[in-house]
Structure 1
């Protein structure tokens, strides 16, 4: 029977287990930690004894995690990261400096607007320690809800009563084609022009992909060659290698322009929706508040981007699932 309820877990044991998972072996973990191999082995054995179950399968020198070990590792990573953040925040308090923050963003937004937005934040608001996590949109939401991230920049849709949505932006998707492609001579590319090409697009059917599919359907285009990817940068790299044309959101394009690729407008409107979120009812630090403002400004710097006025989750749902109202004079 486990003694875990009566015996506090030793931080050294958790660090040893995390190191073994990272290095893939006790020998590698010992090198990472600057300890002897027997010492690391003993720490893992003591941790398993405290927990009451095995964390690792041992077969000679080979070590693999058990199913429980994999689940426990996710908790250990979060715990160790939290301890590191507590140390950093304690140091910031002692020095009267801005508090460390964690920003969670989808890969396209982490690359496309976050660097410029951070550069626009006043230098005296940038903390000594700043953490940026590039995550899937669903994981951005979970990080913000769990308060392991102070602010999130994510594609939509996302709805949760525990979220505060600070702004919602809409920008038109673009088509990426090889710079030497004859279509690069056009300012606007029709989807019918790429009907016989291999189409490269994002895989998640619940986000941008379904809008791409709707646009292809409207144009009467049924591509028989498709490459699904989970990141726009991958799509752009595939285009540069001559593997097809890509329909992508505009953020990555702006943040990481690639030689050999031409970006062109599409004759069908394919909206990319994204926004800034934080945990509801959680006071914003000056740094987070400034970053929310600068990411909004960077979003507006994208060609054709507009901010959609919103009023909580109802407006968000209307924007994502229905036909958003366009303010008088707003660009269409």
Structure 2
């Protein structure tokens, strides 16, 4: 079987007409080119060149082989380009499954920046619970999971992406909007939109109330942060939401206030321990972490003030 290198030598000799010139272009010795041609002829079983007056004239068979080889060279060039793009993270596929607060909030904004220099990147975005994230990652159907609560599962690798905290959101005209910092227990005295006790955020808030000998009261129970935000936006009450969900929100939508005491949390990147993490996945995790650094600093400053 003729190798790709033999085809390259054959095509180059046909193009320039002499083994000496071909050797210069290929950065090898002239005897090496001549030996390669003779070895290729032995392999195929027929002459590839007619030797006339020191010049090599390709046979019809050689021209036919060289013509077909051009398709191989073009495909090889395309593969090399794809490898370069994959190495640079400008092409490929990235499949992400995120919890709703992250998927509705920070994820679209950061992806908008990420794909500006990666126009050929194909995306798959899905929202799901933590159990759904584990199933998708464990089966190889997702490359990256994003959540504010880390799963305890041996098949999942967890990386801290960014620091955040719970924030109080309320209608602009609400009495709590007049405060620079909202005391969490004071939510018992207003129309509080909150999470079920069995949810991670509900458990975090309940623990704070229990420390003060109080029972958390709320008039509306929601499962997703996006639902709580829409209810606040429509003037139905106030809610505690993770800071990642309100990044990029404007004061005309609702008022956003830090809490006292501070309720810190983190954003986690989740990958499967059973499948290799792709280069583009690692690049996006780092891109997301870098993008959120400024927001980490803001949250830290607010926490100190609270």
Q: Same fold (TM over 0.5)?
A: yes
Matched, 1:114 2:91: no
| Aligned mate of 1:290, from 283, 295, 299 | 283
Q: CA RMSD in A?
A: 3.0
Partners of 2:152 and 2:238 in 1: CA distance = 32
For 1:273, the equivalent position in structure 2 comes to: 266
| Aligned mate of 2:170, from 170, 174, 177 | 177
For 2:238, the equivalent position in structure 1 comes to: 245
Change (3 A) 1:274 1:255: same
For 1:46, the equivalent position in structure 2 comes to: none
Partners of 2:79 and 2:191 in 1: CA distance = 55
Matches within 5 A, 1:50-69: none
Residues 159 and 268, structure 2, Cα contact 8 Å, conserved in 1: yes
Structure 2 segments unaligned to the other structure (5+ residues): 1-77, 86-90
Deviations 1:5-40 (A, max 9, x none): xxxxxxxxxxxxxxxxxxxxxxxxxxxxxxxxxxxx
| Aligned mate of 1:186, from 168, 179, 186 | 179
Change (3 A) 1:195 1:220: farther
| Aligned mate of 1:99, from 92, 100, 121 | 92
Change (3 A) 1:302 1:201: farther
The total of aligned residue pairs comes to 219
For 1:145, the equivalent position in structure 2 comes to: 138
Residues 169 and 306, structure 1, Cα contact 8 Å, conserved in 2: no
> How far apart are residue 122 of structure 1 and its match?
6.1
Partners of 1:233 and 1:183 in 2: CA distance = 20
Change (3 A) 1:257 1:122: same
- Give the TM-score, by structure 1 length: 0.58
| Aligned mate of 2:124, from 124, 131, 145 | 131
Residues 165 and 278, structure 1, Cα contact 8 Å, conserved in 2: yes
Secondary structure of the corresponding residue to residue 258 of structure 2: strand
Matched, 1:155 2:164: no
Secondary structure of the corresponding residue to residue 247 of structure 1: strand
Q: Which has the larger radius of gyration?
A: 2
Partners of 1:204 and 1:127 in 2: CA distance = 44
Decide which structure has greater helix share.
Answer: 2
Residues 194 and 218, structure 2, Cα contact 8 Å, conserved in 1: no
Partners of 1:261 and 1:100 in 2: CA distance = 36
Matched, 1:211 2:190: no
Partners of 1:287 and 1:231 in 2: CA distance = 29
Partners of 1:204 and 1:110 in 2: CA distance = 23
Residues 155 and 272, structure 2, Cα contact 8 Å, conserved in 1: yes
Secondary structure of the corresponding residue to residue 193 of structure 2: strand
Structure 1 stretches of 4+ moved >6 Å: 92-95
Change (3 A) 1:228 1:127: farther
- Give the TM-score, by structure 2 length: 0.63
Matched, 1:299 2:281: no
